């Protein structure tokens, strides 16, 4: 259990963890506490527990996978949560077993939280993606069962942009090949088909956090920047947005992908797109492995159309590090690809820097803790964004009601009727698609009222899940 001193400055806005002495079936606090800060067992229509059994922050179980940064572990430990930490991701069967009882899961890009997996999570309240991409989580299903999902939208953008700049220069100078040659005892001093990047055109597909950051770096190297995006985005520096992908492909010396994995971006670059590119141009991908059709890329390199490529992401990536981990059967093109010149392959390290991982750990752990302790969903990627001013620690007999429900008419009337014997100090409600989230702080609540409020809310037909914080 954390003392306030253990909770670092970044968490000053959080409630400190307070030990609760809950008697069975009733949510309660010890007489010495002026305020209760607990996360009662989440009960949903489909996964209802028989008794309302409360627990303190010390009862919160967090499963962290994929070597999530220690900054996050420290924050969760500081909150007093129970933390289970794994360096790699888990197989589906292991994940199903582990996810059963936990209240929060922290993952990176490898762990697939599908509907099948999430169905086994009986107490899950929140998922943290300690990365940018969230395509590995079934976001709609998570929302449907009242599970909020958070990510870190830009903490590793700079790291990816810097890697791409390094690779642009490496491809232009054939650095990968020269280095391999030297490692194997070959001195091969050549200038033919080696270029400066100054004055060349970089074509960026997807001008979001990473694409726009890269744009600034590339211009500092004297490159011209074109970008293609499905939305109109303000250009940084002297970059120019082009209206079609074909225009970008036909005018760029380097083409780099920074789009999310969606149905629309699947095989965004395939044989016709490589054919539309300039002779001797280069292709880079540090977005997702689905975005580039690698067999077609191999053909374009073999035909001399593409002069080199740098890939950081692949259709099937290993769950853990190690020799032989990369699955050559699933990625059957690999032996042909590595036999080609000027091919730089990295193991999905775009965001893997100390700075990025540390910042991501802090950001996502802070958001998860705030959601668990206060119910604040601001920044969630699949949920209505709701927040109220922090719980007032000096005020006694105040309860925060967190009510996630189906977005249908009549809910506010019903809920406020249930809460009407108490003073509603603050209330906020928002919806996103079929899901809505109501947060209310009510005062003048006695111990005996709490179970009654809970039971009444629990009986409402629109309820997805309820938590009472006090």
Instruction: Report the catalytic residues.
Output: 288, 317, 348
- Of positions 352, 353, 358, 447, contacts ligand 3PG by CB under 6 A: 352
**In Å, how far from its chain's centre is CA 329?**
29
Q: Is 284 in the site for ligand NAD (CB under 6 A)?
A: no
Q: Is 275 near ligand NAD (CB under 6 A)?
A: no
Nearer to ligand NAD, 62 or 142 (CB): 142
Per CB under 6 A, 364 contacts ligand 3PG: no
464: exposed, middle or buried (Cβ count in 10 Å: 0-12, 13-18, 19+) = buried
Coil, strand or helix: which one is 439?
strand
Contact predicate 15/78, CB 8 Å? no
- Residue 260 interacts with ligand 3PG (CB under 6 A)? no
Q: With CB under 6 A as the rule, give the number of residues binding ligand NAD.
A: 31
Is 206 a binding residue for ligand NAD by CB under 6 A? The answer is yes
Q: Which residue lies nearer to ligand NAD by CB, 40 or 211?
A: 211
Which residues of 276-398 form beta strands (DSSP E)?
A: 281-285, 306-311, 343-345
H/E stretch holding 416 reads helix 411-419
CA triple 21-27-30, angle to 5 deg: 30
> Minimum distance between the CB of residue 300 and ligand 3PG, rounded to whole angstroms?
25
Closest among 7, 21, 37 to 393, alpha carbons compared? 37
Q: Which stretch binds ligand NAD (CB under 6 A): 13-21, 180-188, 207-215, 430-438?
A: 207-215
CB of 109 to ligand 3PG, least distance (A): 3
Q: Is the CB of 75 or the CB of 286 nearer to ligand 3PG? A: 286
Backbone angles phi, psi at 136, to 5 degrees: -80, -5
Asked if 207 is part of the footprint of ligand NAD (rule: CB under 6 A), the reply reads yes
| Shortest Å distance, C-beta 226 to ligand NAD | 13
From residue 63 to residue 102, the character string flagging contacts with ligand NAD as x (rule: CB under 6 A) and all else as - is ----------------------------------------
Q: In angstroms, rounded to a whole number, what is the distance separating the alpha carbons of residues 354 and 276? A: 38
State the binding partner of 464 from ligand NAD, ligand 3PG, none, CB within 5 to 8 A by kind: none
Per DSSP, the residues of 374-389 read H---TTBSSS-----S
How far is Cα 247 from Cα 251, in angstroms, rounded to an integer? Answer: 6
Structure tokens at 106: 């922290």
Strands (E), 166-280: 201-205, 224-228, 240-241, 254-257
158 binds ligand NAD (CB under 6 A): no
Closest CA to 15 of 445, 397, 389, 423: 389
Q: Does 210 bind ligand NAD (CB under 6 A)?
A: yes
> Looking only at residues 342 through 381 of this chain, which bind ligand NAD when binding is defined by CB under 6 A?
348, 350-351
Cβ 285 to ligand NAD shortest distance, Å: 9
Minimum CB–partner distance for residue 352 and ligand NAD (Å)? 7
Interface characters, 119-138, with ligand NAD (x: CB under 6 A): -------------xx-----
- Is residue 258 part of the contact set for ligand 3PG (CB under 6 A)? no
Hey, CA dihedral for 388, 393, 397, 399, is it positive or negative?
positive
Per CB under 6 A, the list member of 230, 275, 303, 459 interacting with ligand NAD is: 230
Which helix (H) or strand (E) is 171 found in, with range? helix 157-173
Q: Does 348 bind ligand 3PG (CB under 6 A)?
A: yes
Stretch that binds ligand NAD, among 29-37, 82-90, 204-212, 363-371 (CB under 6 A): 204-212
Q: Does residue 131 interact with ligand 3PG by CB under 6 A?
A: yes
> Buried (b) or exposed (e) across 356-381, using 16+ Cβ within 10 A?
bbebbbbbbbbbbbbbbbbbbbebbb
Structure tokens at 177: 């090949």
Binding flag, residue 211, ligand 3PG (CB under 6 A): no
Stretch touching ligand 3PG by CB under 6 A, among 129-137, 223-231, 408-416, 448-456: 129-137
| Residue 160 binding ligand NAD, by CB under 6 A | yes
Among positions 58, 133, 153, 315, the unique one binding ligand 3PG when judged by CB under 6 A: 133
3-state SS assignment for residue 140:
helix
Q: Beta strands of 123-166 (E only): which ranges?
A: 126-129, 148-150
The binding site for ligand NAD (CB under 6 A) comprises: 132-133, 156-157, 160, 205-211, 228-231, 258-262, 264-265, 286-288, 312-313, 348, 350-351
């Amino acid at each position: 259990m954390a003392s306030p001193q253990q909770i670092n400055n970044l968490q000053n806005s959080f409630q400190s963890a307070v030990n609760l002495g809950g008697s069975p079936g009733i949510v309660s606090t010890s007489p010495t506490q002026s305020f209760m800060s607990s996360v009662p067992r989440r009960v949903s229509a489909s996964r209802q527990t028989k008794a309302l059994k409360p627990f303190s922050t010390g009862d919160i179980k967090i499963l962290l996978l994929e070597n999530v940064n220690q900054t996050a572990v420290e924050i969760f430990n500081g909150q007093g949560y129970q933390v289970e930490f794994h360096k790699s991701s888990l197989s589906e069967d292991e994940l199903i077993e582990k996810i059963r009882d936990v209240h929060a899961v922290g993952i990176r890009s490898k762990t697939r939280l599908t509907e099948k997996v999430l169905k086994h999570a009986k107490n899950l309240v929140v998922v943290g993606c300690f990365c940018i991409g969230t395509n590995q989580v079934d976001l709609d299903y998570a929302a449907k069962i009242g599970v909020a999902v958070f990510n870190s939208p830009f903490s590793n953008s700079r790291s990816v942009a810097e890697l791409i700049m390094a690779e642009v220069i490496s491809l232009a100078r054939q650095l990968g090949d020269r280095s391999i040659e030297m490692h194997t005892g070959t001195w091969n001093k050549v200038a033919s088909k080696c270029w400066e990047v100054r004055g060349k055109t970089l074509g960026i597909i997807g001008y979001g956090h990473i694409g726009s950051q890269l744009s600034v770096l590339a211009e500092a190297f004297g490159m011209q920047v074109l970008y293609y995006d499905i939305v109109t985005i303000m250009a940084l520096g002297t970059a120019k947005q082009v209206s079609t992908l074909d225009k970008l492909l036909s005018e760029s010396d380097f083409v780099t992908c920074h789009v999310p994995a969606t149905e629309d971006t699947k095989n965004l670059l395939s044989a016709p797109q490589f054919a539309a590119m300039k002779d001797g141009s280069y292709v880079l991908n540090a977005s997702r492995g689905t975005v580039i059709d690698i067999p077609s890329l191999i053909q374009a390199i073999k035909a001399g159309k593409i002069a080199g490529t740098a890939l950081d992401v692949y259709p099937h990536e290993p769950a853990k590090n190690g020799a032989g981990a990369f699955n050559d059967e699933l990625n059957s093109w690999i032996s042909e690809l590595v036999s080609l010149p000027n091919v730089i392959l990295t193991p999905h390290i775009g965001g893997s820097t100390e700075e990025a991982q540390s910042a991501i750990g802090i950001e996502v752990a802070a958001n998860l803790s705030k959601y668990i302790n206060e119910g604040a969903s601001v920044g969630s990627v699949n949920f209505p964004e709701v927040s109220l001013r922090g719980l007032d620690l000096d005020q006694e007999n105040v309860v925060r009601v967190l009510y996630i429900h189906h977005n249908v008419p009549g809910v506010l009337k019903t809920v406020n009727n249930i809460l009407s014997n108490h003073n509603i100090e603050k209330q906020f409600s928002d919806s996103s698609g079929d899901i809505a989230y109501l947060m209310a702080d009510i005062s003048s609540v006695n111990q005996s009222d709490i179970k009654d409020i809970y039971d009444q809310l629990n009986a409402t037909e629109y309820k997805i899940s309820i938590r009472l914080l006090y």
